[in-house]
Chain A
Amino acid sequence: MNRPLLLVGDLHLGRRPPGLGEVLPELGLEPRELSAVAAWEATVDWAIRREIRAVVLAGDVVEGLRDRFEAFTHLARGTKRLADAGIPLLAVAGNHDGEALPRLADRVPEVILVGRGGRWEIVPIPGRDGEPPVDLLGWSFPAPTVRNDPTEDPSFEEALDRRRESARLIGVVHGDLDAPGSRHAPLSRHRLAGASVDAWFLGHIHVPGTLDGPRPLGYLGSVGALDPGETGVHGPWELELDGGVAVRQIPLSPVRFENVEIELGDHAPAEPDALLASLEGTIRERLGPSLVTAGGHPRLLAVRLTLTGRPQARRAVDEIVRLEPLERLFPGEDPPMVISRITDRTRPAIDLEELAAATTPAGELARLLQALEHDPPRELLEAAERSIGGWKGSGWTGGEIPPPPETVELLRTAARRALLAVLDGRRDEEEP
Chain B
Amino acid sequence: MIRLRELTIREAPGLPDGVALSSLDPGLNLVWGPNASGKSTLARVLLGTLWPDPTLGNVLAEVVLDEDGRELRAVLRFGSVRWEPDPPALPPAEIRSLLALDLRSLLKESTADAGFSRRVTVELMAGYDLDAALASLEAPTPRKGPLQKRLNDARTELRRLEHKAEDLARQEEELNTLRQRQREAKQAVTLAQLAEDATRLAAIRAEIDALRARRDALPPGLDRLQGDEAEELERLETALESARARVAELTERRRHAREQADSLRLPKRQPESHELTAWRERVRELGKISRTLDDRRERAAEARGRLEAAARGLGTWDPPPQRLDTDALSTLEAALGRRESLRARVHELEAAVALWSAQAGNDEATGADRLETGLDALRSWLRAAPVERIPRWPGWLAVAAGGIMAALRTLPPPPPLPPGPMAWLATAGLLVLGLGAGYLTALTLVRRVAGGTAEARRRAAEAGLEPDSWEQPAVLDRLREAETERARRLQDEEAARRGADARRELAQRQEELETAGNELRDLAASLGLAPDLPDLALAEAAGRIRSWIEAHDELAGLEGRLDEAGATLRVGLEELGRWLGELGLEPAADAAAATALVDELAGRLKDFERLTQELAQREDDLRDASRDENTARQALDAFWERAGIDPGDTLELRRRLGLLPEHGKLDRELRDRLAVAASTEAGLDGEGAWERLGLDRETFTEEQARELAGRHAEEGSRYEEIVAEIKEIEAAVRQAESGSSLEEARARVAEAAQAIAEHRDRAMETVLARLLVERAREAQRRDHAPRVLQRAQSWFTAFTRGSFRLEVGSEGAFSAIDTSTGQRRSLDQLSDGTRIHLLLAARLAAIEETEGAAGPLPLVLDEALSTTDPGRFGEIAGALLELIRNGRQILYLTADPDEVAQWRRACEQAGVPVPEPLTLGPPPEAAAGWAGVERLDAGTIPDVPPPDGLDTVAWARQLGVPAPDPWRPSGDWHVLHLLPDRLPLVYDLLQLGFERTGPLQEALGAGGLDGILDPAGRALLRARTCLLEAALELRNEGRGRPVTWEDVEASGAVSPTFEEAVKGLVEAEGRNPRAFLDAVGALRGFRRAKLDQLEAHLEATGILPSGEPLPDELVAGRAAQRCRDVLEAAQIDPAEAVAFVRSILNLSRS
Task: Provide the bound-state CA to CA distance between A78 and B130, in Å.
Answer: 63
Assess whether A418 is in contact with B137, with CB atoms less than 8 Å apart. Answer: yes
Query: At the interface, yes or no: A359 with Cβ under 8 Å from chain B?
Result: yes
Assess whether B128 is in contact with A426, with CB atoms less than 8 Å apart. Answer: yes
Task: Provide the bound-state CA to CA distance between A410 and B727, in Å.
Answer: 57
Q: How far is the CB of A347 from chain B (nearest CB, A)?
A: 13
In the complex, 7 of the A-B residue pairs with CB atoms within 8 angstroms, ordered by the A residue number, are A16-B743, A70-B741, A361-B777, A401-B754, A411-B772, A417-B766, A425-B129
Q: A312-B54, A363-B92 are in contact. Are A70 and B784 (CB under 8 A)?
A: no
Of the candidates B743, B753, B862, which one forms a contact with A432 in the assembled complex, judged by CB atoms under 8 Å apart? B862
Closest to B101 in A: A430
How many residue pairs between the two chains, A and B, have CB atoms under 8 Å in the bound complex? 251
Interface 0/1 of B843-857, CB less than 8 Å to A: 000000110100000
Query: At the interface, yes or no: B733 with Cβ under 8 Å from chain A?
Result: yes
Q: How many residues of A contact B (CB 8 A)?
A: 77
Assess whether B772 is in contact with A425, with CB atoms less than 8 Å apart. Answer: no
Which listed segment binds B: A130-138, A195-203, A388-396?
Answer: A388-396
Query: At the interface, yes or no: B604 with Cβ under 8 Å from chain A?
Result: no
Assess whether B97 is in contact with A18, with CB atoms less than 8 Å apart. Answer: no
Assess whether B102 is in contact with A430, with CB atoms less than 8 Å apart. Answer: yes
Of the candidates B165, B769, B780, B949, which one forms a contact with A263 in the assembled complex, judged by CB atoms under 8 Å apart? B949
- Interface centre among A359, A413, A428, by most B CB within 10 Å? A359
Contacting residues, chain B, for A294 (C-beta < 8 A): none
Assess whether A432 is in contact with B767, with CB atoms less than 8 Å apart. Answer: no
Query: At the interface, yes or no: B122 with Cβ under 8 Å from chain A?
Result: yes
Which listed segment binds A: B192-200, B643-651, B756-764, B1075-1083?
Answer: B756-764
Contacting residues, chain B, for A357 (C-beta < 8 A): 91-92
Query: At the interface, yes or no: A354 with Cβ under 8 Å from chain B?
Result: yes
Query: At the interface, yes or no: B798 with Cβ under 8 Å from chain A?
Result: no
Which listed segment binds A: B420-428, B436-444, B744-752, B1018-1026?
Answer: B744-752
Task: Provide the bound-state CA to CA distance between A143 and B105, in Å.
Answer: 77
Query: At the interface, yes or no: B30 with Cβ under 8 Å from chain A?
Result: no
Closest to B42 in A: A432
Query: At the interface, yes or no: B943 with Cβ under 8 Å from chain A?
Result: yes
Assess whether A15 is in contact with B40, with CB atoms less than 8 Å apart. Answer: no
Assess whether A383 is in contact with B771, with CB atoms less than 8 Å apart. Answer: yes
Query: At the interface, yes or no: B779 with Cβ under 8 Å from chain A?
Result: yes
Q: How many residues of B contact A (CB 8 A)?
A: 93
Assess whether A425 is in contact with B136, with CB atoms less than 8 Å apart. Answer: yes
Query: At the interface, yes or no: B776 with Cβ under 8 Å from chain A?
Result: yes
Query: At the interface, yes or no: B569 with Cβ under 8 Å from chain A?
Result: no
Q: How far is the CB of A91 from chain B (nearest CB, A)?
A: 18
- Chain A stretch 328-387: residues in CB contact (< 8 A) with chain B: 341, 349-351, 354-355, 357-365, 368, 380, 383-384, 387
Contacts A67-B165, A365-B772, A400-B155 supplied; 15 other A-B pairs, CB < 8 Å? A66-B162, A70-B736, A267-B943, A364-B779, A396-B760, A400-B151, A400-B750, A401-B756, A415-B768, A418-B773, A422-B128, A422-B773, A426-B97, A427-B127, A429-B102
Query: At the interface, yes or no: B586 with Cβ under 8 Å from chain A?
Result: no
Task: Provide the bound-state CA to CA distance between A37 and B737, in Å.
Answer: 13
Contacting residues, chain A, for B761 (C-beta < 8 A): 404-405, 410
Do most interface residues of chain B lie in helix, strand or loop, or is the interface mixed?
Answer: helix
Interface residues of B (CB under 8 A from A): 40, 43-44, 47, 54, 91-98, 100-102, 105, 122, 125-134, 136-137, 142, 144, 148, 151, 155, 161-162, 165-166, 168-169, 733, 736-744, 746-754, 756-758, 760-761, 763-773, 775-777, 779-780, 783-784, 849-850, 852, 860, 862, 943, 945-946, 948-949
Q: A21-B747, A421-B773 are in contact. Are A66 and B169 (CB under 8 A)?
A: yes
Query: At the interface, yes or no: A35 with Cβ under 8 Å from chain B?
Result: yes
**Shortest Cβ-Cβ A-B pairs, 3 listed:** A414-B768, A18-B750, A69-B736
Task: Provide the bound-state CA to CA distance between A425 and B136, in Å.
Answer: 8
Closest to B43 in A: A432
Q: A14-B742, A387-B767, A432-B860 are in contact. Are A358 and B91 (CB under 8 A)?
A: yes
Contacting residues, chain A, for B40 (C-beta < 8 A): 432
Task: Provide the bound-state CA to CA distance between A14 and B747, in Å.
Answer: 9
Interface 0/1 of A12-35, CB less than 8 Å to B: 001111110100000000011001
Query: At the interface, yes or no: A145 with Cβ under 8 Å from chain B?
Result: no
Query: At the interface, yes or no: A402 with Cβ under 8 Å from chain B?
Result: yes
Contacting residues, chain B, for A267 (C-beta < 8 A): 943, 945-946
Task: Provide the bound-state CA to CA distance between A182 and B164, in Å.
Answer: 31
Q: How far is the CB of A326 from chain B (nearest CB, A)?
A: 14
Of the candidates A359, A383, A410, A421, which one forms a contact with B784 in the assembled complex, judged by CB atoms under 8 Å apart? A359
Of the candidates B100, B772, B946, which one forms a contact with A265 in the assembled complex, judged by CB atoms under 8 Å apart? B946
Contacting residues, chain A, for B757 (C-beta < 8 A): 401-404
Task: Provide the bound-state CA to CA distance between A386 and B388, in Å.
Answer: 156
Q: A266-B54, A400-B753, A429-B102 are in contact. Are A418 and B772 (CB under 8 A)?
A: yes
- Chain A stretch 255-283: residues in CB contact (< 8 A) with chain B: 263, 265-267
Q: How far is the CB of B253 from chain A (nearest CB, A)?
A: 78
Closest to A383 in B: B771
Contacting residues, chain A, for B151 (C-beta < 8 A): 400-401
Task: Provide the bound-state CA to CA distance between A413 and B767, in Å.
Answer: 11
Assess whether B766 is in contact with A414, with CB atoms less than 8 Å apart. Answer: yes
- Interface centre among B96, B122, B128, B733, by most A CB within 10 Å? B128
Assess whether B127 is in contact with A402, with CB atoms less than 8 Å apart. Answer: no
Closest to B165 in A: A66
Q: A265-B948, A410-B765, A429-B105 are in contact. Are A418 and B770 (CB under 8 A)?
A: yes
Contacting residues, chain A, for B733 (C-beta < 8 A): 69
Assess whether B100 is in contact with A65, with CB atoms less than 8 Å apart. Answer: no
Closest to A14 in B: B743
Q: A361-B128, A410-B768 are in contact. Are A430 and B97 (CB under 8 A)?
A: yes
Contacting residues, chain B, for A400 (C-beta < 8 A): 151, 155, 749-750, 752-753
Contacting residues, chain A, for B169 (C-beta < 8 A): 65-66, 68-69
Contacting residues, chain B, for A410 (C-beta < 8 A): 761, 764-765, 768
Assess whether B769 is in contact with A415, with CB atoms less than 8 Å apart. Answer: yes
Q: A18-B754, A32-B740 are in contact. Are A265 and B769 (CB under 8 A)?
A: no
Query: At the interface, yes or no: A214 with Cβ under 8 Å from chain B?
Result: no
- Interface centre among A15, A63, A401, A404, by most B CB within 10 Å? A401
Task: Provide the bound-state CA to CA distance between A333 and B690, in Å.
Answer: 78
Contacting residues, chain A, for B862 (C-beta < 8 A): 432
Contacting residues, chain B, for A417 (C-beta < 8 A): 137, 765-766, 769
Task: Provide the bound-state CA to CA distance between A391 and B130, in Å.
Answer: 25
Query: At the interface, yes or no: A399 with Cβ under 8 Å from chain B?
Result: yes
Assess whether B122 is in contact with A427, with CB atoms less than 8 Å apart. Answer: yes
Query: At the interface, yes or no: A156 with Cβ under 8 Å from chain B?
Result: no
Contacting residues, chain A, for B136 (C-beta < 8 A): 421, 424-425
Assess whether B165 is in contact with A355, with CB atoms less than 8 Å apart. Answer: no
Query: At the interface, yes or no: A40 with Cβ under 8 Å from chain B?
Result: no
Query: At the interface, yes or no: A219 with Cβ under 8 Å from chain B?
Result: no
Query: At the interface, yes or no: A2 with Cβ under 8 Å from chain B?
Result: no
Query: At the interface, yes or no: A73 with Cβ under 8 Å from chain B?
Result: yes
Closest to B125 in A: A361
Assess whether B764 is in contact with A404, with CB atoms less than 8 Å apart. Answer: yes
Task: Provide the bound-state CA to CA distance between A432 and B142, in Å.
Answer: 43
Query: At the interface, yes or no: A84 with Cβ under 8 Å from chain B?
Result: no
Assess whether A66 is in contact with B127, with CB atoms less than 8 Å apart. Answer: no
Assess whether B764 is in contact with A360, with CB atoms less than 8 Å apart. Answer: no
Q: A360-B780, A395-B144, A429-B102 are in contact. Are A387 and B768 (CB under 8 A)?
A: yes
Query: At the interface, yes or no: A431 with Cβ under 8 Å from chain B?
Result: yes
Q: How far is the CB of B1059 from chain A (nearest CB, A)?
A: 39
Closest to A429 in B: B105
Q: How far is the CB of B125 from chain A (nearest CB, A)?
A: 6
Assess whether A358 is in contact with B779, with CB atoms less than 8 Å apart. Answer: no
Assess whether B94 is in contact with A422, with CB atoms less than 8 Å apart. Answer: no
Assess whether A70 is in contact with B780, with CB atoms less than 8 Å apart. Answer: no
Query: At the interface, yes or no: A72 with Cβ under 8 Å from chain B?
Result: yes
Assess whether A355 is in contact with B94, with CB atoms less than 8 Å apart. Answer: yes
Q: How far is the CB of B300 from chain A (nearest CB, A)?
A: 96
Q: How far is the CB of A65 from chain B (nearest CB, A)?
A: 7
Q: A263-B948, A405-B761, A415-B769 are in contact. Are A360 and B168 (CB under 8 A)?
A: no
Assess whether B746 is in contact with A15, with CB atoms less than 8 Å apart. Answer: yes
